[in-house]
Every structure is written in C-alpha cells, then in structure tokens.
C-alpha cells in the first residue's frame, strides 16, 4: 500500500492513535507520596556527603531530588492535559531541562586548590540523584531505591576499599598564619618538602601592617601517622598562630 500524501499517511494512522489508551493523571496523593520518597532518597545520599564536609550536603540533595521529582510529575500531568488526538504531547520535555540545568549546580560543588580538584564526586552524585528524583516522579519507586542504594555502596564501601588498598596518600590544603619573621617561610617549606610526597602549590600572603604572613600549601601527604607528625612539626615553628589542614 502506497500513500501519496502526508495527510493520507496521517489519516491511516489516526484511528490507531485515537484508540491508544491514555495514562491517567497522577493524583495529588500520589504526587505527595513520590515527593516524600524522593526527599528520603535524597536525604540518604546527602547525609553521606554532609559527613565528608562537602559543599552540597543533606539539604542540597533533598531539595534537588524534591524539585526533580516535581518536574517529572508535572511533565507527565501536563502531557496528559494538553495531549490531543493525533498530536501527542511530549511528557519528557520539561523533565529533560533538569538534566541540563543540574550541571550549573554541580559546577558549584567543584572546588579547585592549585592543581587539585575537589568535589567531582559530589557533583556527579547531584546529577545522578536528579535522575533518581525523575525516576521516582515517573512512578518507578523500586528503581529509585535500588539506584540510591547502589550510590551509597559506591560512596561508602568503595571509598573504604580505595583508602585501604589503593590510595596510601591524599592531597591536603594547608593554611598557616604566623607572625612574620625571616625564617618562617623557609622553615615551613623545608618541613613540608620533607614530609610530603609532592607539593602542588606554595602561596604566600604578607600583611605589612599587622606583621603577619599567611602560607597556603597544596601537598600530597601519606595518611595517618605521617600527617599527624607534619601537623605537630609545623605547630612547633616559632611564630605560628593558626594551622588548618583540609
């Protein structure tokens, strides 16, 4: 059978389109349930990130997943409201904007210290949890729960395995504030180079008025005892007032 015009093709398929069973709108009760489930899943991942002092923690993840869930629910209901025979609406159009928009939020979770970048894991967890929120909003509760559980396994269990068997050292951002004297910078540099496997950056800020100096160092240091020894040694330098390790 050959169709001569597009209108003939549309007419041939119109009965099939009109006869398709339309999915019912999501009720307010279901919407509330999905939002609550999404908030709970966001809280699970957000709590884990909060424990690691990440810029995007419990509240950020919860609000993000709630918003993504509502965006998906709204997409489905608007698709139902405005769909017409022969002109089906796209229920994923509004929700799709969440995927691209979440990139800006994820970028805010990424921090750079010299040659080191921190926050990539949190940024990816934000993006993935947005998808989880959309999944719950579409009604796939089990998939959302299983995915959240898998994320927790990756964040917690694999982190333990990496720390024990893979990574024996870690990048640390060290900030030292001290009274200015001629030997303080030389002493700090010498001690850090002695303890660190490598030094990524070494920045100095001097306040002539207050006669203070701030030294910021990015260094890769072995875990546990060697880091503690470094902190103790730096604290013993004459003139050091505050010492912060991140």
| pLDDT for 117 | 62
Cα distance between residue 91 and residue 83, in whole Å: 9
- What are φ and ψ of residue 9, in 5° steps? -65, -40
Topology of domain 169-245, CATH: Alpha-Beta Plaits (3.30.70)
SS3 of 88, please?
Answer: coil
**pLDDT profile of the chain (246 residues), mean per 10:** 43 42 76 93 89 80 91 84 71 77 76 63 88 92 93 86 69 85 84 82 81 85 73 84 84
Task: Quick: pLDDT tens for 204-241.
Answer: 888 877 788 888 888 887 766 677 888 888 888 888 88
| pLDDT for 224 | 61
| pLDDT for 10 | 39
| pLDDT for 99 | 81
Task: Quick: pLDDT tens for 133-144.
Answer: 999 998 999 999
Q: Give me the DSSP letters along 164-220.
A: III-SEEEEEEEEEEE--TTHHHHHHHHHHHH-SEEEEEEEEEETTTTEEEEEEEEE
Q: What are the structural domain ranges in the chain?
A: 25-165, 169-245
| pLDDT for 111 | 65
pTM of the model: 0.61
| pLDDT for 27 | 87
| pLDDT for 116 | 56
Spatial CA neighbour of 142 closest among 150, 14, 79: 150
| pLDDT for 140 | 93
| pLDDT for 207 | 80
């Amino acid at each position: 059978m050959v169709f001569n015009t597009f209108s003939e093709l549309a007419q041939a398929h119109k009965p099939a389109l009109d006869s398709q069973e339309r999915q019912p709108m999501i009720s307010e009760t279901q919407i509330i349930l999905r939002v609550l489930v999404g908030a709970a899943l966001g809280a699970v991942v957000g709590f884990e990130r909060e424990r690691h002092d990440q810029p995007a923690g419990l509240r950020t993840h919860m609000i993000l997943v709630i918003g993504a869930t509502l965006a998906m629910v709204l997409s489905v209901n608007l698709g139902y409201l405005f769909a017409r025979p022969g002109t089906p609406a796209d229920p994923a159009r509004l929700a799709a904007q969440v995927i691209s928009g979440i990139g800006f939020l994820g970028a805010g979770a990424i921090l750079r210290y010299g040659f080191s970048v921190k926050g990539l894991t949190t940024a990816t967890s934000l993006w993935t949890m947005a998808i989880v929120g959309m999944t719950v909003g579409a009604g796939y509760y089990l998939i959302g729960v299983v995915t959240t559980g898998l994320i927790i396994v990756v964040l917690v269990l694999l982190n333990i395995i990496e720390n024990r068997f893979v990574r024996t050292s870690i990048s640390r951002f060290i900030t030292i504030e001290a009274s200015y004297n001629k030997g303080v910078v030389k002493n700090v540099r010498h001690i850090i180079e002695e303890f660190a496997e490598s030094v990524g950056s070494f920045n100095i800020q001097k306040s002539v008025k207050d006669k203070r100096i701030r030294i910021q160092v990015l260094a890769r240091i072995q875990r546990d005892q060697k880091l503690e020894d470094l902190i103790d040694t730096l604290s013993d330098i004459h003139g050091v007032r505050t010492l912060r390790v991140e």
